[in-house]
Each structure stands twice: as C-alpha cells, then as structure tokens.
Amino acid sequence: MRYYLRKLGFFVLTLWAVVTINFLIPRVQPGDPAEIMVQRLAGKNAQLDQAQVQAMRDLLGTPTGSLGSQYVQYLGQLLRGDLGLSYNYYPFEVTRVIGQAFWWTVVLVTVVQVLSFVVGILLGAFAAWKRNGRFDTTVTLVSTFLGTLQPFWIALLLIYGLGYSLGWFATSGGYEQSTPGFNGAFLYDAVSHAFLPALTLMIVTPIGWILGMRNTMIMNLSEDYIKLAKAKGLPDRVVALRYAARNALLPSVTGFALALGGVLGGTILVETVFDYPGLGRLMGEAVGLKDYPLLQALMLLTAVATLVANLVADLLYGVLDPRVRRSQA
Amino acid sequence: MTVVGADPMAESAPEQTGEQVSAAERPEAWWSVVWSSKKARVGVVVVGLYVLIALLAPLIAPHAPTDGSFVPLEPPSGAHLLGTNVGGQDVFSQLVYGSRVSLLVGLLGGTLATVIALVVGLVAGYAEGTVVDDVLSFVTNVALVIPVLPLIITLVAYSEVRGIGLIVGVIAITSWAGAARGKRAQIITLRNRDFVTAARFSGDGPLRIIFAEIMPNMTSLVAAAFVGAATGAIGAEAGLAVLGLGSSDAVSWGTILYQADAAGAVSQGLFAWVFVPGLVLAVLITAMSFINFGVDLLSNPHLREG
C-alpha cells in the first residue's frame, strides 16, 4: 500500500510543479503578448497606441494584478478546464482547437506504438536468443545506425522518394477529397495520408524496444531458472518465449505506457514536415504564429499525459512485479 | 590500493591480489582505452575531421554563408556544389559554416548539461537520505518526466531574439536529469570507501570531498554523460531550427533544412539541398555514439577487447 501512496504522492507533487512551471514560463520572459499582437497588426515601425494595447488586453483576457492573484486565478481557470482563447483561431477556445487535432495524433501514434512495440519486442528477443549470430549483428548494427537519424530528415527523404518521385502516397495533410466521417472513402483517404508519417515513425520507434529487450533478455538468459528449464529438456521455443521473454518483458511494459504518454514530443517535427493535422503540427503552428495560449495548453497537455502514463506504468509495475513494491516501500 | 583518488580504474576493478598489484598500479591511460576500440577510433577521426572543417570554414567554403548575390534556386553545379537557396546563397558554403554551429552547440550544451548533472547528482547522492537529497531528487524526477522537446520549444518560442547562447542554455537546463540520476547512483557506491572516510576524518568539507576526492573517480561516467549530452544538444538544435526556431544570428544545418522545406526543395527536385545537411548531421551523431562505445570501455572493463 505504501508503494502506491508514494507513487500517487509523487504524481500530485509533479503535477503541481508542471502546472506552476507552465504558469511561470510566459511571466519570466520579456514582452507583452498584447503589445506583440498590436505591433503585428500595426506593422513593424508603427507607434504603439496604448489604447489599442489596452483594448487588445481586454480582448485576449490578459490577466492583471499581482503575481500571486494571477496564480490563483490561473489555477481556478485550469480547474474549470478553461485554457483561454486561441490568438490564431480567435474567438475559439484553445480546448476546442486542440479537440479537433487530438484524434489525428492519438490514432496515428497508438497504431505506430503498438506495431513498434510488437515488432521491437520480437526482434529484440530473437536477437538475444541468437546472440552474436548473423541476425543479431545485423539487427544491432542497423538499429544503432537508424537511431542516429533525425526523424524529420527521414520524413523529407520519404516525401522525396515515395511521394514525389514514385507518387505512391500523399505527402501532406490528413485527407483530401472526402468529408470527414465514418465512411469508406474518408477512411481510405485518411489512411493513405497517414501512411508516410506512420512509416517515418516506424523506422525510428522500434529501435528502443529492440535494444532494450535484447539487453534484458540476454541478462535473463544467464539466470539459473533458464538453465533449469533447459536441463528439464523443455523445447527451445518454450524456454525462449514462456520463460526468458516473458520475464524480460516486464521493464518494457512501463516503457510502453511512457511512450504512449510522450506522444506529442515525438511527432511535433514529423507532423510539421507532413503538414499532418494533429497536435504536433498544431504546436509547430502555434510557435510560428506566436499563439501563446495554444502553445501553453499543448505543453501542459503533453506533460500531464506523460505524468498520467508514468503513474499508470508505476502502479501497473507494482502489480506485475511484487519485488518492486517491496524494495521501494 | 595505494594512490587513491587519482585513478578511475582501480576503484571499479575487482579486488586485485598481491601478485598483480604492480600491473594494476599502472592502469592504461584513458585515451588508450578509448582508442583500443575500433568503433571509437573511427568516431574520434570523424569528429576530428568535422572540427577541422569548422575551424577552417573560411578557407574551405567558396563563399560567405550570407552572400546572397547568386541566382536563387539553382540546382547543384560546378560553381555551386549543392546549388543555391531562395535567397541566392550558396548552400555548400552554408553547410560548411553550419558545422561551427552544431559543434559549438554540442560543446557548450554538453558541458553545461554535464556540469548541472554533476552538481545535482553528486550533492544529492552524497547527502543521500537527507532533506537536501529529497529536494534534489524530486527536482530531478520532475525534470525527468517533463517531455523535453515541447518544453524547449515553449521556452524558445517566447523569446524575440534567438542567439546561440539562448538555445544552448535552454537545451542544457532541460536535459541534465537522466545523467544526474546516474551520478547520484554512482556516488552512493563510492561514498563509503576508505579514502572518503579518511578525507572526512582529516576535516575536509563535504564540497571538497565530493568534487576533489570522489569526482576524479568518475571520469568515465562524466565523459559518457558529456558525449551523450553533446549528441542530444546537437539533435535538439537541429530540431528547433527545422521548426523555424533556430538561432537568428547564424546558419546551422537545421536552418538549412528549414529553408529547404519552406522553399519546397523536394517538390522542385532540389534533392541535394535536403539530403546533404541531414546526412552530415547523421554522420556526426553516429561518430559521437561510436566514441561512446569507447568511453563505455572505461566504466566497464569487462567490455574491453582482447
């Protein structure tokens, strides 16, 4: 029980820290968003009209008062799920803008992560079982090399090769002709647009699983229970999968939850390059247009998603592996 | 064990018996250990080449990176090896000068992140179990779970002027946490060694013990953390630049890729403009991870060849 309480306590404290950091970032930086907006509308060299700036502040709902009262106000808004109005999509609320992009990223990333996990675990387990063989050497070398490539660069190369030169796949956007909805035409359209972003991520994401699984599995293979299983005359397949791989999988379970939580971080650049209508591109857009409320909300969403995934992974790990619970309690 | 604190290997190596002491007293110098790995050798040579190119950039590059006096969007030719960009600048010259930015960001970002990680990790580990440790460990854990790239993007997006200094600083303060946790674990195993106890009894303060007595025993871990942090910083700088958040005062490989993407280089068939900057970046990062194979030999003697 103490294990779970500790993890829950850490979650709450970290959540508070993240929210506070998110509150402080715009406030420690110089520059007033309202002034920047007015400046942009008026042109670079125009005189700043204070009345206009004040009007803009009212329009944007820029908070006033001392830092302390702003903080209280900010926390209150967060609790009500009010993340402010987007500058770029004014007068829409940030939450609404995010809601439209949310599913694009979630579906793309979930599919990629599940596939990567399965592929990575299988390749890693097999490489460890055939340690130092030709298969193992190839997999390890190729993974190490691919791991040093920048995903956005892979994306550009795929756009060039499979998109423009061969013309096999759509290279930007999420759909083209069809209307969004649950119908065959749209699904086909969406899948063909999602193919290249998914392929880009599929080149990079399994690598961590492959190398991680290979290492844990190699460690497990030298344990006594494996020797016992082999001595009992169990078939190789059973020893490899039911004994070694099953135990080596444990650390990967938590890693998987974390990967799902870190969804946004990994896709920002890829989505931007492909102009894919998800959260990552939204963040790239918010950066370019200085849409601060949207940017902050996305940052907060990513952090909270990661924290929740972390908590779930920790709790799950405690259930799956009682040793962890005991040693940390 | 005779001289303590001077030799990183003696502490991590298994206990030596009497007969072997003479051999164990003269451990291989760290550079010859790193050099003994074939991969690390390749890595060192390649990184050395990059450093040379960066230093000699004005001699190698045929034009100034900001010289926009050429015909825009030219394909590669004898006059412009990689063609020209929208602004009529020579892409090859930009590429050569860009190596300066990447190496500088790697060097400074890696150093700064390593210093932060060292201070936080060592102090927390030395004070294990006290309030100091609790606070530092909490901060480390928070920094570890906050997703780095979105945080870097948010921090950089707010600033109007984006110099290399800002980018290096932001990358460093967001990416030290993993290494700090490693250092904390390491110092806990070193903290109760005899030489530390001896230093404590002779009246040394905790800071002197941590940084003058214990830290020299962690050279390999520090080196590995530095190479890792430098590699991460180079990648992060390129990523920021691709989003249009690159330094406003210098051309980097990331800003070249950003310009290429924005100009639709791919759809105009200007393949080299996109391909080469990413390739030189990938080769540099591969070379640096190769060096880390050699550095790993320092901390884990079991891995040494022969």
- Give the one of A164, A265, A296 whose C-beta lies nearest to B149's C-beta: A265
A141 close to B (CB below 8 A):
no
Residue A61 has what pLDDT? 66
Residue A329 has what pLDDT? 47
Chain B residues lying within 8 Å of A31, measured CB to CB: 158-160
- Alpha carbon of residue B217 to chain centroid: 20
How would you label A151-169 residue by residue, b for 16+ Cβ within 10 Å and e otherwise?
A: bbbbbbbbbbebbeeeeeb
A–B CB contacts, 8 A cutoff, strictly below: 118
- Alpha carbon of residue A173 to chain centroid: 19
Both structure tokens of B76:
């590669």
A260 close to B (CB below 8 A):
no
Residues 182-241 of A with CB under 8 A from B: none
Measured between alpha carbons, how far is B259 from B257 in angstroms, rounded to an integer? 5
* Inter-chain CB proximity A269 and B243 less than 8 Å: yes
Return per-residue pLDDT of chain B as tens, 306 residues: 333 334 444 434 444 444 444 444 556 677 788 888 888 899 999 999 999 999 998 998 888 888 878 888 888 887 888 888 877 888 899 999 999 999 999 999 999 999 999 999 999 999 988 999 999 999 998 888 888 888 899 888 888 778 889 999 999 999 899 899 988 988 888 888 888 889 888 988 888 888 888 888 888 788 888 999 999 999 999 999 988 888 877 889 999 999 998 888 788 888 888 899 999 999 999 999 889 888 877 766 666 654
pTM for the predicted model, two decimal places: 0.84
Residue A200 has what pLDDT? 92
Chain A residues lying within 8 Å of B281, measured CB to CB: 150, 153
Measured between alpha carbons, how far is B76 from B42 in angstroms, rounded to an integer? 30
Residue A39 has what pLDDT? 72
Q: Per-residue pLDDT tens for A41-90?
A: 776 666 777 787 787 777 766 666 778 888 888 898 888 888 888 888 87
Residue A178 has what pLDDT? 67
Extract the runs of DSSP E, i.e. beta strands, from A195-326. Answer: none
A148 close to B (CB below 8 A):
yes
Is residue B74 a contact partner of residue B110, using CB atoms and an 8 Å limit?
no
Flag residues of chain A having pLDDT under 70. Answer: 30-33, 36, 40, 43-46, 60-64, 177-178, 261-262, 327-329
Residues 15-54 of A with CB under 8 A from B: 17-18, 21, 25-26, 29-31
* Inter-chain CB proximity A284 and B286 less than 8 Å: no
Q: How many CB atoms lie within 10 A of CB A134?
A: 8
By C-alpha distance, the chain A residue nearest B258 is A273
- Give the one of B145, B150, B242 whose C-beta lies nearest to A14's C-beta: B145
B276 close to A (CB below 8 A):
no
* Inter-chain CB proximity B282 and A150 less than 8 Å: yes
Measured between alpha carbons, how far is B148 from B156 in angstroms, rounded to an integer? 12
Is residue A180 a contact partner of residue A93, using CB atoms and an 8 Å limit?
no
Extract the runs of DSSP E, i.e. beta strands, from A146-231. Answer: none
What is the distance in angstroms between the Cα of B3 and the nearest Cα belonging to chain A?
Answer: 35
By C-alpha distance, the chain B residue nearest A259 is B147
A157 close to B (CB below 8 A):
yes
What is the distance in angstroms between the Cα of B55 and the nearest Cα belonging to chain A?
Answer: 24
Residue B108 has what pLDDT? 96
Residue B306 has what pLDDT? 44
Residue A150 has what pLDDT? 86
